[in-house]
């Protein structure tokens, strides 16, 4: 686990949240205990590896795009003179209807 200022900041923020959330309850802890728990959690997260099924093989990516400009109405209006506003309104209507 590489410890840099960002890691220290995350650990201190987590420790402060742990300390503050338990303040005034029956299981109140000292700040030292909260800090120790935060470091333990960060070390476990650094050592964690995703399961084999989640790692996958190769470079797979999913590209999400807007449905506004993929509708059949928009495609039918492409190339026509001054089709911009018409296409935009038709695409909006198509997206609202859920085509």
Residue 67 structure tokens:
């449905």
Judged against a pLDDT cut of 70, whether residue 66 lies above it is answered with no
CB atoms closer than 10 angstroms to residue 77: 19
Does residue 61 surpass a pLDDT of 80? no
DSSP string, 51-90: -HHHH-SS--------STTSSHHHHHHTTSTT-HHHHHHH
Q: Is the pLDDT of residue 60 over 80?
A: no
pLDDT of residue 32: 92
Alpha-carbon gap, residue 18 to 36, rounded angstroms: 11
Q: Is the pLDDT higher at 44 or at 93?
A: 44
Domain map (residue ranges) of the chain: 5-51, 67-99
């Amino acid at each position: 686990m590489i410890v840099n200022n960002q890691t220290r900041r995350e650990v201190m923020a987590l420790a402060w949240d742990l300390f503050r959330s338990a303040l005034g309850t029956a299981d109140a802890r000292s700040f030292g205990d909260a800090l120790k728990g935060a470091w333990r959690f960060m070390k476990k997260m650094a050592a964690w590896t995703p399961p084999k099924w989640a790692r996958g093989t190769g470079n797979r990516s999913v590209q999400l795009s807007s449905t506004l400009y993929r509708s059949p109405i928009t495609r039918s209006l492409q190339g026509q003179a001054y089709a911009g506003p018409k296409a935009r309104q038709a695409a909006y209507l198509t997206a609202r209807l859920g085509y």
